[in-house]
A and B are shown apart, each in its own frame.
Chain A
Amino acid sequence: MTRLRMRNISKSFFGSYANHEVCLDVDSAEIHALLGENGAGKTTLMNILYGIYRKDGGTITIDGEEVDFKSPKEAIARSVGMVHQHFTLVPTLTVQQNITLGLKDAGYPCSRERQRCAHIARLATSYGWKIDPSALVRELSVGEMQRVEILKLLYRNARVLIFDEPTAVLTMQESAQLFEMFKLLKAQGCSIIVITHHIQEVLEHCDRVTVLRDGKSIGTERIADVDAKRLSSLMIGRDLVPVARERDRKGSGETILELAGYGFARSGTKRGSVDLSLDRSEIVGIAGVDGNGQKELLETLMGLRDHVSGNAFFKGKDISMLSTAQRRTMGISYISDDRHHDSLVLDMGAAQNMMLRPGALCETVTHHLIDRRKMHRLAAEAVESYGIKTQGISEPMRFLSGGNQQKLVLARELAGRPDLIIAFQPTRGLDIGATEFIHHTLLRMRDAGSATLLVSTNLEEILLLSDRIAVMHEGMITGIIDNDSPDIMRIGLMMAGIDCQGEKT
């Protein structure tokens, strides 16, 4: 029996569609996966259902009755509940206080704590969980916190439970327990929607799956009818073909970067470890689903996080204990995926943002004072040669478009031709023109002799630019392949952590 029916849901932000005519049907007593890459529109769709966003078009019916939630409160009243990726608990309150937060039961404002605790304990026991309602939330483990989140919904009689990437913060064991919980909830007749990009989870634990890609629903399948291969092709897109480009040179044999068992910390107690080498005039792309340790690896490489074990050799020297400034001064550049926070001072102009580098690399400083004429000249040259559209080199970066902001980041980071460029999603959120410019620039730097470590969740970008492709899953490189005739299917499977038989280097 269909409990939830979403028909032709559309939602656009600033003129571009996050959801376009998306359809989703969820039965009662079903675990339904919402599968898709980052930015496919999964969370947007669920935020619409939960009343956080208002839809632009389409209809939502629950148990045959049309609904239009204006707030999560209304959604909860119609027994729809959501557990967010980042928990919404108050750490200094008890489990009971968190669960009943905002509720007015009989006798309000005199709350009957003991009764509430008993109710919660009963509820938890009926699912076979042990939980102390008077424990402080901050003393719970992440898995237990998640149970509190679930109890919060059950206490409010939610029958449709939405989970946004529930396993992202959990260990393997906790994940297994979570899916056991789902089965119990399903046995009670609850509908469970799981947002995920992990194909394996979908195959092992769900009943049906709806795949989203680029804001559109690609289709709904029974798990019994699909395999990993089909799901990954649905998720990534069949039309993905490697773009032919001339590969006159790849690598010169001179090793620029060598990672040997390079261990880094991921969220919680998770660890990642990477072996990888990078030659001069080579672009190595790291493909992978977002959140598999890419950001942590790159930030550790830049000295922004403490590394855990192993070594990183840059041109033969171990850099793993050096400061960010020292690494940069040696010739490592970093293009972050978050230019607003990591790369730019938005309230300063182009000229000053060009100076945002270690003092030793800053050519516009003599005797600690800024040579303003030189600063303006260099900035004007950068604006000119990178075609940055700005009202002037003093105009705050805040007022520039994303593409122009990123061009300035490139102008700064590529100045002086660094030996190693670490590029993390360098075209994130950019339009086609700016994206092409940045791809072209990175290839030009490769031909000029820079080694580039390119990390992107956009497989097309990886295929387009890389000489070799490494696939990252759960903090590990699951395989490295040449980009001469890449088997896209196999990359997709490796991204899902299924195939590990790649030739490891």
Chain B
Amino acid sequence: MVWTGGATLAVAIILIVLVGSDVPLAVMSFLKGIFGSTYALSEVVVRATPLMLAGLGVSVGFKTGFTNLGAEGQIYAGAIAMSATAMLFPSLPAPLMIPLVIVVGFVAGGAWALLPGILKARFAISEVIMTIMLNYVAINMTGVLVRTALKDPSYPYPMSPMLSNTSDFVQLFPPTRIHGGIILALLALLAVHVLLFRSRLGFEMRAVGLNSRACACSGIAVNRALIISAIVGGGLAGLAGVSEIAGLHHRLIEGISSGFGYVAIIVALLGKNNPVGIVFASLGIAALQVGSMAMQRTAKVPTSIASIIMGTLILLLVIRDAKRSVSMPEGGA
């Protein structure tokens, strides 16, 4: 971990020098952007919320050997379903509306992952490509919908009307933007932990992820575990979409997710697919992104640097894990 962190830091500093910025100023503005004020810190939490939910979703897939790279699309699916529901039943009171949009968002995200899940389970078709391609479908479907069926007729812009405020998640600590989505994320975290580590189904899912052949020989329903993990993982990513709309935007617009679904993959990897690890990973990545935005404002370092750092970090982590698994001793033959 030490040399991975060190190498990443070195890459970051080299990049800052290369773009011609003052390194101490950049580092200071980065840190201030994260820890400088209560508001700055709260923004980290706001950003971590969708990452936590989507990262959790990705990790459930990874644990079962379902390489779900489609969290981005599942976020959009959840957001579309949630917005459409809120527009369809605008007069529903909040105690009914909130659970409804959560369920609908989960189902939509799950459905978005279901097709790749079924195709992998039944025909061994690569879920990697399927889930990535479905991202484009969902993203562009959003674009179509905010210009047609879900468009706000009173504005010329491609977006839906403001949703009924009964569908809004509560603001927890105004004036900060922290909203009820974080509670949803923490509850989901707990639920996933119980599912994966306390339930029979979760045991089957993890066992399938580690050795599906042995599971088949032992009479464990491999396909069922795979499909359920696809649904649950997609559903959690769908909740991230719900949380972004209900907590922040309150209407469906293009680009509600600025790549959260992809960053979620990094979160899952960094958090080692462990619910607790994902809390820290999502907060860390969110801090990196929030800090880099401050760095751009003050030190004129482009925010792209955050993406480069994340990429470097993942590369180094993958190399490290590969080295470790190569040197892993085998049990006696």
Could you list which residues of chain A lie within 8 angstroms of chain B, going by C-beta atoms?
14, 302, 304, 323-329, 334, 336, 340-348, 352, 355-359, 362, 365, 368-370, 372, 397-403, 405, 429
Q: Which residues of B contact A347 (CB under 8 A)?
A: 210-211
Among the listed A343, A359, A402, which residue makes an inter-chain contact with B332, where contact means beta carbons less than 8 Å apart? Answer: A402
- A399 with B214: CB separation less than 8 A: no
Q: Which 3 interchain pairs have the tightest Cβ spacing? A: A325-B219, A401-B332, A358-B219
CA distance A329 to B332 in the complex (A): 31
Residue B96, interface by CB 8 Å = no
- In the complex, what distance in Å separates the CA atom of A342 from the CA atom of B207? 12
Query: Contacts A358-B219, A398-B331, A429-B333 known; A352 to B207 CB distance under 8 Å?
Result: yes
B214 touches A398 (CB 8 A): no
List chain B positions with a Cβ less than 8 A from chain A. Answer: 194, 198-201, 203-204, 206-207, 210-211, 213-221, 328-333
Report whether B199 and A345 are in contact in the complex, using a CB–CB cutoff of 8 Å. Answer: no
Tell me which of B211, B329, B331 has the highest count of chain A C-beta atoms within 10 A of its own C-beta: B331
With A336-B217, A356-B215, A369-B199 known, 19 other A-B pairs at CB within 8 A are A14-B333, A304-B217, A324-B219, A326-B219, A343-B214, A343-B217, A345-B210, A346-B211, A348-B206, A356-B220, A357-B219, A358-B218, A368-B199, A368-B200, A370-B198, A399-B331, A401-B332, A402-B333, A405-B331
Q: What's the count of A-B pairs with C-beta under 8 Å?
A: 94
| Assembly CA distance A46 to B204 (angstroms) | 43
Alpha-carbon gap, A329 to B217, bound state (A): 13
Task: Knowing A352-B207, A369-B198 are in contact, say whether A342-B217 is a contact too (CB < 8 A).
Answer: yes
How long is the Cα–Cα vector from A429 to B330 in the complex, in angstroms?
Answer: 14
Nearest CB on A from B333, distance (A): 5
14 contacts between A and B (CB under 8 A): A325-B219, A328-B218, A343-B214, A356-B207, A356-B215, A356-B220, A357-B220, A358-B220, A370-B200, A397-B331, A398-B331, A401-B331, A401-B332, A429-B333
Closest to B331 in A: A398
Smallest distance from the beta carbon of B63 to chain A beta carbons, Å? 12
B256 to chain A, nearest CB (A): 35
The answer to whether A356 touches B332 (Cβ under 8 A) is no
B331 touches A324 (CB 8 A): no
Q: Are B329 and A345 in contact (CB under 8 A)?
A: no
Contact in complex: A398, B330 (CB < 8 Å): yes
Partner pick for B211 among A334, A336, A341, A357, CB 8 A cutoff: A341
> A344 contacts which chain B residues (CB < 8 A)?
211, 214
CB contacts (< 8 Å) of A343 on chain B: these are 214, 217-218
* Chain B residues in 8 Å Cβ range of A399: 329, 331
Given A323-B219, A345-B211, A358-B219, does the pair A365, B331 have CB atoms closer than 8 Å?
Answer: no
> Across the interface, which residues of A come within 8 angstroms of B215, CB to CB?
345, 356
Question: Please, how many angstroms separate the alpha-carbon atoms of A362 and B215 in the complex?
Answer: 14
Interface centre among B207, B220, B332, B333 (most CB of A within 10 A): B332
CB-CB nearest in chain B for A398: B331
Query: Whole-angstrom distance from the CB of A386 to the nearest CB of chain B?
Result: 16
* List of A residues within 8 angstroms of B203 by Cβ: 352, 355, 370
Q: Which residues from chain A contact B201 at a C-beta distance below 8 Å?
A: 368
Q: Compute how far the CA of A328 lies from the CA of B215 in the bound complex, rounded to whole angstroms.
A: 12
Contacts of B219 in A (CB 8 A): 323-329, 357-358
In the complex, residue of chain A having the shortest beta-carbon distance to the beta carbon of B207: A345
Contact assessment for A356 and B331 in the assembled complex, using a CB-CB cutoff below 8 Å: no
- On whether A370 and B217 interact (CB within 8 A), knowing A402-B331, A403-B332, the answer reads no
CA of A362 to CA of B203, assembled, Å:
12
Taken together as a complex, chains A and B put the C-alpha atoms of A356 and B199 apart, in Å, by: 13
Q: How far is the CB of A433 from chain B (nearest CB, A)?
A: 13
Question: Bound complex: CA of A429 vs CA of B210, how far in Å?
Answer: 23
Given contacts A352-B207, A356-B218, A397-B331, contact A342 B198 (CB under 8 A): no
- A341 partner, pick from B198, B214, B328, beta carbons under 8 A: B214
Query: Once the chains bind, are B331 and A346 in contact (CB under 8 Å)?
Result: yes
Cα separation A441 to B277 with both chains bound (whole Å) = 44
Given the known A-B contacts A325-B221, A341-B211, A346-B211, are A369 and B332 also in contact in the complex, defined by CB atoms under 8 Å? no
Please state if B211 and A365 are interface contacts (CB–CB under 8 Å).
no
A328 cross-chain contacts in B, Cβ below 8 A: 218-219
Chain B positions within 8 Å of A346 at CB level: 210-211, 331
Q: Which of A355, A368, A398 contacts B328 (CB 8 A)?
A: A398
Residue of B nearest to A355 (CB): B203
- For A357, what are the chain B residues with a Cβ–Cβ distance below 8 Å? 218-220
Given A329-B219, A348-B207, A369-B199, A356 contacting B214 (CB threshold 8 A):
yes
Asked whether A302 and B332 contact (CB < 8 A) given A356-B207, A370-B199, A370-B203, the answer is: no
Other-chain contact of A369, B200, B217, B221 (Cβ < 8 Å): B200
B200 touches A342 (CB 8 A): no
Known A-B contacts A344-B211, A400-B331; the reply to A359 vs B218 at CB < 8 A is no
Give the residue name and chain of the B residue nearest to A366 (CB): B200
CB-defined contacts of B206 to chain A, threshold 8 Å: 348
Shortest Cβ gap from B121 to chain A (Å) = 14
B221 proximity list for chain A (CB < 8 A): 325
CB neighbours (8 Å) of A336 from chain B are 217
